[in-house]
Amino acid sequence: METDGGRKLKIAVIHPDLGIGGAERLIVDAAVELAEHGHSVHVFTAHHERNRCFEETVAGPFPVTVYGDFLPRHIFYRFHAVCAYLRCIFVAICVLLFWSSFDIVLADQVSVIVPLMKFKRSTKIIFYCHFPDLLLAQHTTTARRLYRKPIDLLEEATTGMADLVLVNSGFTASTFAKTFSCLHSRGVRPAILYPAVNMDQFDGPCAYKLNFLSVNRFERKKNLQLAISAFALLRSLGSTLPDKSFSEATLTIAGGFDKRLKENVEYLEELKELAETEGVSDRVRFVTSCSTAERNALLSECLCVLYTPTDEHFGIVPLEAMAAQKPVIACNSGGPVETIIHETTGFLCDPTPLEFSKHMAKLMATPEMAIKLGKEAHRHVTEKFSIKIFGLRS
């Protein structure tokens, strides 16, 4: 992001909740790269916990300022979208009132702030659309449809006001075109900026123990029960496995966990109950809100990574796994189709326990295959999705 003549820019990034997740990872990486290229970057958000965030947001090359954390995230576990809009609008108003103009404002996830930032006429507005929010929301009842209708219309209208729209994958770009048909008919075409991985953090030792790893937030849409059920099914494939290998195998489910979120708390209990029902609770470990160092340690020792969401918008976890020289077993849909090369860096399969377990058993029976796929995966990510490539694209 340099103007003609290489002028350094003042860039504001506005993100709703700077926690731990794929969207936050992308924003943090973008801020780091832009700062290291000499630009002045400032991140604004409505929530930032120093003990539940990426380390770069605490000791990185850019400041983080929080506005509006006192505003509610929900009202009796309802009206999440309205509350998110109000929190982001408050952040945007504070930026307008208390800070001088920025050359570029990168609005992430919530498009309603785009027209507000237009008050600074010299500022260019970039909106990063991870996925249309209206597709993530529930429209199951008449009341919900009435509630969502103005929000959905506002999302499309304000998204179209950005000077540039970015998306995280070709899958999201095609979904954007189908969902926002009015914008598409007006010629609004989002550009694709793939998220990336800092390869340096995976330079440590690499082992291939009989441990399967799943990394994701504890949300139902992440389909983590698929990993547990597939792991349990390995018992029925015992004849194809080396002696005692299943009895020694373990499954670790790690990821972002926010005790403030009712779904996180409930889903973790549901997963523990499923492991008990499947008879594998003694060999399934849950790690909540692990740090980057803890996650990297888990990646360094697992046999492979199970990535269970279907129609995932992009998915940063497969990139991190492949950067750590580990093959990935993922659903054959969404963003992973664009990042994983089937039978070369991992496996793409139907989202069923049987299909996942077949590939898990294959890697258990032939560990040398995991090593070969892992090395090819590392090369693939280095060439296509490294932070160096990301910096050049952004």
Distance CA 110, CA 119 (A): 17
Q: Are 68 and 90 in contact (CB under 8 A)?
A: yes
181 and 216 inside one domain: no
Last residue of a domain, one of 193, 214, 247: 193
Residue 391 lies in a domain: no
How far is residue 391's CA from residue 30's CA, in Å, rounded to a whole number?
A: 8
Give residue 103's domain range: 10-193
Is residue 313, in this structure, part of any structural domain at all? yes
Q: Which pair of structure tokens corresponds to residue 85? A: 């809009």
Mean pLDDT to the nearest integer, 202-207 = 89
Confirm whether 390 is domain-assigned: no
* pLDDT, position 394: 57
Tens digits of residue pLDDT in 22-61: 889 889 988 998 998 899 999 999 999 988 888 899 988 9
Confidence band, pLDDT 50/70/90 cuts, at residue 243: low
* Region 229-245 average pLDDT: 76
What CATH number corresponds to the domain at position 208? 3.40.50.2000
Classify residue 3: in a domain, yes or no.
no
Confidence of residue 120 (pLDDT cuts 50, 70, 90): confident
Q: Look at 358 and 245; give whichever has higher pLDDT.
A: 358
| The pLDDT value given to residue 266 | 95
User: Are 207 and 98 part of one and the same domain?
Assistant: no
Same domain assignment for residues 188 and 298: no
The Cα diameter of the chain in Å comes to 69
Statement to judge: residues 174 and 261 lie in one domain: no
Does the structure show a pLDDT above 80 at 170?
Answer: yes
Beta bridge partners of 295: none
Q: Are 224 and 253 in contact (CB under 8 A)?
A: yes
Examine residue 5 and state whether it is found in any structural domain, yes or no. Answer: no
| pLDDT classification of 176: cutoffs 50, 70, 90 | very high
Cβ contacts of residue 263 below 8 Å, gap of 6+? 218, 219, 220
What would the pLDDT profile of 54-109 be if each residue is shown by its tens digit?
Answer: 889 998 899 999 999 999 998 988 888 899 999 999 999 999 999 988 999 999 99
In the predicted model, is pLDDT for residue 4 greater than 60?
Answer: no
Reported confidence tier of residue 378, pLDDT bands at 50, 70, 90: very high
From edge to edge, which strands make up the β-sheet containing 64-66?
64-66, 40-45, 10-15, 104-108, 124-129, 164-167, 191-192
Residues 69 and 44 in one domain: yes
Angle between helices 367-384 and 316-323 (to 10 degrees): 110
Q: What is the enclosing helix (H) or strand (E) of 369?
A: helix 367-384
Of 193, 213, 247, which one is at a domain's C-terminal end?
A: 193
Residue 220 has pLDDT above 80, yes or no: yes
Examine the pLDDT at 244 and tell me if it is beyond 60: no
Residue 165 has pLDDT above 90, yes or no: yes
| Whether residues 165 and 18 fall in one domain | yes
Domain end residue (candidates: 193, 217, 233): 193
Report the C-alpha gap between 222 and 229 in whole angstroms.
14
Q: How many residues does the chain have?
A: 394
Mean per-residue pLDDT over the chain, rounded: 91
Within this chain, do residues 366 and 254 fall inside the same structural domain, yes or no? yes
Looking at the structure, tell me whether residues 214 and 184 fall in a common domain.
Answer: no
**DSSP state letters, 182-248:** HHHHTT--PEE----B-GGGG-S-----SEEEEE--S-GGG-THHHHHHHHHGGGGGGGS-TTHHHH
Mean pLDDT, range 183-191, rounded to an integer: 93
Q: How many domains does the chain have?
A: 2
Is the Cβ–Cβ distance between 83 and 73 less than 8 Å?
yes
Chain centroid to Cα 197, Å, comes to: 12
